[in-house]
């Protein structure tokens, strides 16, 4: 294979901390290299070096046989290197055509010419999209495909994808993988970062394992398995937690009856017990998010009833939900400033200036304990949240909500962007929280996670709740069947029981 990229002994620092400590990496044309590592291992810093947003201190990089060390993202793009970051955002007011060609060397062409090229790209990829549709009308998976097409329009020879599929369901990930394989057949190379170990095995040719600022080992994807990868990441066997197959024993904490939200959700009814972890799954247009946003007061219901501990309540806004002790952590939660300190970020609702010195010391001890338990990679809890890796920022956001005094807590994609070791900690914290009587509603596109964590799982499709599955009676394939209304065999799911 034709060598495209070679990096040797790369060192780089961030905020006066040495992050990369001698990285070595190679990539060939037509190859997908999976890159995995715990949060803070240096993956994002390495991608920043390759994509031109971060300068390395030492080491040598060659691209297509030439010395490579871009001073900016624009220079990296001109050299044929493109990055799709973990939390990419596209202006929702742009058309698909404008989004595909934004920032590329073709951006100055007439709209008609660009529209024709966009339509051709869409046909080549084999998906159904209107070049004139607004980005704001697209689901996350479709926006990811728009970003991939932007890489093609830039004529990127090396495409870096940083946790782009983190919150996508399996069937959307399958479409994305199909497009990536098409790009490799064109001779392009891809670095694919993910925390989903089964996924990286299914898409990558080789897998590089980063640990403590170095590439610890590179393996052939076909010659390894998720268990070996987890061991290499954690340096120990991951804990095997038992699925919560018994129903939650507590009284009903929440009951919604015939809940409707405009024309998006119709007559949804379910209950959640005290101490229960209740999962809700569905495609992006199933109505799942509208249900939880109604409970959180973001978009109130238009009909139906909501009961808390047997009492009917009205939730017409966020203030009502907070007064009723309903907490909600959404997908891309950014309700604090990244320049705030880690300590401030973990002290949800703390009233600055109202506590005694003893209270402040106690709070900081609690913060330090959470940082230790969730393996947040920092040497200074007073440091800015912006200095953390993307996964560690997600841990701060998650821990912030999990340490609040809520009676009902709604968590959307709580493990998005965090490593396998941190997922174990999150599950333990959720379990501990549920044992205090908190009713937890969990949303996630990782169905194996839902099966491993939830007592029951409700499945929504086309605005309706089509089934509620007890954990003991379900598996990933059964859930996807109900989500899509068709049979779908997931590559990594081990069938436990097939319903007739």
CATH number of the domain that 80 lies in? Answer: 3.40.50.300
Range of the domain at 457: 252-484
- Residue 240 located in a structural domain: no
Task: Report yes or no: 388 and 339 within 8 Å, Cβ to Cβ.
Answer: no
Going by C-alpha positions, the residue among 355, 367, 297, 303 that lies closest to residue 326 is 297
- Residue 495 located in a structural domain: no
Average pLDDT over residues 363-382: 73
Query: Do residues 163 and 258 both lie within one domain?
Result: no
Query: Do residues 263 and 216 both lie within one domain?
Result: no
Task: Report yes or no: 294 and 301 within 8 Å, Cβ to Cβ.
Answer: yes
- Residue 246 located in a structural domain: no
Count, in order, helices (H) and strands (E) of the chain: 16, 20
Query: Do residues 397 and 316 both lie within one domain?
Result: yes
- Residue 498 located in a structural domain: no
Give per-residue pLDDT as tens, 86-129.
778 999 999 999 999 998 888 888 888 899 999 999 988 878 89
Query: Do residues 194 and 279 both lie within one domain?
Result: no
Query: Do residues 260 and 219 both lie within one domain?
Result: no
Query: Do residues 256 and 230 both lie within one domain?
Result: no
Query: Do residues 261 and 222 both lie within one domain?
Result: no
CA distance 36 to 216: 10
- Residue 307 located in a structural domain: yes
303-308 β-sheet, strand order: 265-273, 252-261, 303-308, 311-313
- Residue 497 located in a structural domain: no
Task: Report yes or no: 411 and 167 within 8 Å, Cβ to Cβ.
Answer: no
CA distance 281 to 412: 10
DSSP characters over 403-444: TS--SEEEEESTTTT--HHHHHHHHHHHHHHHHTT-EEEEE-
What pLDDT sits at residue 457? Answer: 96
Highest mean pLDDT (candidates 6-10, 11-15, 179-183, 419-423): 6-10
Going by pLDDT thresholds of 50, 70 and 90, the confidence category of residue 355 is low
- Residue 413 located in a structural domain: yes
199 Cα distance to chain centroid:
13
450 Cα distance to chain centroid:
14
- Residue 212 located in a structural domain: yes
Question: In the numeric block, which tokens belong to residue 446?
Answer: 């990782």
Query: Do residues 218 and 260 both lie within one domain?
Result: no
Give per-residue pLDDT as tens, 38-75.
888 899 899 999 999 999 999 999 999 999 999 999 99
The pLDDT > 70 percentage for the chain reads 89
Q: Which residues pair with 458 in a beta bridge?
A: 280, 468
Query: Do residues 116 and 88 both lie within one domain?
Result: yes
CA distance 365 to 363: 5
How many domains does the chain contain in total? 2
Going by pLDDT thresholds of 50, 70 and 90, the confidence category of residue 220 is very high
Give per-residue pLDDT as tens, 449-497.
899 899 999 999 999 999 999 988 898 889 989 998 865 444 443 333 3
206, 234, 262 - which closes a domain: 234
Check pLDDT > 80 for residue 195: yes
Half-sphere exposure of 496 (CA within 13 A, CB side): 15
Q: Which residues pair with 18 in a beta bridge?
A: 13
CA distance 112 to 401: 48
Query: Do residues 266 and 164 both lie within one domain?
Result: no
Check pLDDT > 90 for residue 424: no
Query: Do residues 282 and 198 both lie within one domain?
Result: no
Which stretch of 137-151, 185-199, 318-332, 388-402 has the lowest confidence by average pLDDT? 388-402
Query: Do residues 274 and 346 both lie within one domain?
Result: yes
CA distance 57 to 16: 12
Going by C-alpha positions, the residue among 432, 476, 31 that lies closest to residue 241 is 432
199, 234, 269 - which closes a domain: 234
Task: Report yes or no: 414 and 404 within 8 Å, Cβ to Cβ.
Answer: no
Average pLDDT over the chain, rounded to an integer: 86
Task: Report yes or no: 255 and 368 within 8 Å, Cβ to Cβ.
Answer: no
């Amino acid at each position: 294979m034709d060598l495209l990229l070679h990096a040797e002994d790369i060192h780089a620092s961030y905020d006066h901390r040495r992050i990369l400590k001698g990285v070595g990496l190679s990539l060939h044309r037509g190859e997908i290299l999976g890159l995995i590592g715990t949060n803070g291992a240096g993956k994002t810093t390495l991608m920043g070096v390759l994509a031109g947003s971060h300068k390395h201190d030492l080491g040598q990089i060659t691209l297509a046989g030439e010395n490579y060390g871009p001073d900016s993202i624009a220079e990296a793009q001109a050299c044929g290197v493109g990055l799709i970051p973990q939390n990419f955002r596209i202006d929702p007011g742009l058309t698909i055509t404008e989004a595909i060609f934004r920032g590329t060397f073709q951006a100055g062409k007439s709209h008609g010419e660009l529209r024709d090229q966009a339509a051709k790209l869409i046909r080549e990829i084999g998906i159904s999209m209107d070049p004139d549709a607004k980005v704001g009308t697209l689901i996350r998976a479709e926006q990811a495909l728009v970003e991939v097409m932007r890489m093609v329009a830039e004529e990127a020879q090396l495409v870096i994808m940083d946790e782009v599929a983190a919150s996508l369901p399996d069937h959307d990930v399958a479409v994305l993988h199909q497009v990536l394989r098409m790009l490799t057949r064109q001779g392009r190379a891809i670095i694919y970062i993910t925390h989903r170990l089964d996924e990286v095995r299914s898409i990558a040719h080789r897998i590089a394992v980063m640990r403590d600022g170095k590439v610890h080992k590179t393996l052939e994807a076909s010659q390894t398995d998720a268990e070996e990868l987890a061991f290499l990441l954690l340096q120990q066997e991951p804990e095997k937690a038992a699925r919560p197959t018994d129903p939650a024993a507590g009284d009903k904490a929440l009951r919604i009856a015939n809940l409707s939200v405009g024309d998006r959700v119709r007559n949804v009814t379910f209950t959640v017990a005290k101490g229960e972890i209740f999962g809700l799954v569905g495609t992006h247009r199933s109505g799942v998010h509208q249900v939880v946003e109604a409970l959180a007061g973001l978009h109130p219901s238009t009909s139906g009833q909501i009961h808390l501990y047997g009492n009917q309540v009205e939730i017409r806004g966020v203030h009502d939900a907070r007064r009723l002790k309903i907490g909600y952590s959404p997908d891309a939660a950014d309700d604090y400033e990244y320049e705030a300190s880690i300590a401030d970020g973990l002290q949800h609702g703390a009233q600055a200036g109202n506590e005694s010195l003893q209270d402040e010391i106690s709070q900081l001890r609690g913060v330090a304990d959470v940082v230790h338990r969730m393996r947040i990679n920092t040497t200074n809890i007073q440091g800015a949240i912006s200095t953390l890796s993307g996964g560690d920022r997600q841990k701060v956001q998650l821990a912030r909500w999990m340490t609040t005094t809520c009676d009902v807590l709604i968590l959307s994609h709580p493990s998005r962007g965090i490593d396998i070791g941190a997922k174990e900690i999150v599950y333990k914290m959720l379990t501990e929280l549920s044992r205090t009587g908190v009713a937890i509603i969990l949303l996630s596109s990782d169905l194996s996670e839902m099966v491993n964590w939830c007592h029951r799982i409700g499945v929504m499709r086309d605005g309706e709740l089509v089934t509620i599955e007890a954990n003991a009676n379900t598996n990933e394939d059964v859930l996807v069947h109900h989500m899509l209304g068709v049979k779908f065999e997931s590559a990594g799911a081990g069938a436990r029981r097939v319903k007739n």
